[in-house]
Homo-oligomer: A and B are copies of this chain.
């Protein structure tokens, strides 16, 4: 299956699609989510609002498209930071988590759109197609697999987990191994999968609380607390936090 070269019209259309999301994002940042309207986007593009219906069936799906692009950007930034960090899985994990926080704190409007809206793409995990949000989660699953392969850390044995939890985690690990043939994650014990989710809960929790200002009642600068949480998580994964302190992003 060879891809034909894109015709002139196709190129123009792609550029317009790109500009739409670019303008939508500028509005999101400067005017908050209520500012991203069809008419405002069209106005900034020198167009009519009705013309945007050639590109998206309605505002909601336009915003969904923006959301997907933001996931891609965030994921790319995290992956890049990971790769810049070298080959030590610990250093890579630290770089990823720090980049996730830095991106979220500097992009609160985007974070809010991505992580605080109900995700409709629910049940269709088996179809093979999955959204940008899922790809985001897999990036963290991958580094977890790396970490485990390099140096397995102690995890609770399957027998100790509540059966209902073990069952779900088992299925999750299986799907992880199938989807995209991700090496390292297919042989994870369910206890490691639980640890993965637990660490993710921790990272998401502190970053979301910081972004929304819900820690201001206790902390004026969340940075040190974030570092402490990251260190604690790393320790659970058999890493020595002192090795990764004071590294630039």
Contacts and interface: CB of A to CB of B under 8 A. Distances in A.
> How often does this chain occur in the complex, in copies?
2
Interface in A191-234: 193-194, 197-198, 200-206, 208-209, 212-221, 223-225, 227-229, 232
Contacts of A227: 162, 165
Contacts of A206: 201, 205
A215 B197 contact: yes
B162 A229 contact: no
B221 A168 contact: yes
Contacts of A216: 119, 122-123, 125
A193 B218 CA distance: 9
Given A116-B212, A169-B219, 7 more contacts: A115-B212, A117-B212, A137-B218, A164-B223, A168-B224, A197-B219, A204-B208
A161 interface: yes
Interface of A: 108, 112, 115-119, 122-123, 125, 130, 133-134, 137, 161-162, 164-165, 168-169, 172, 193-194, 197-198, 200-206, 208-209, 212-221, 223-225, 227-229, 232
Nearest to A171: B220
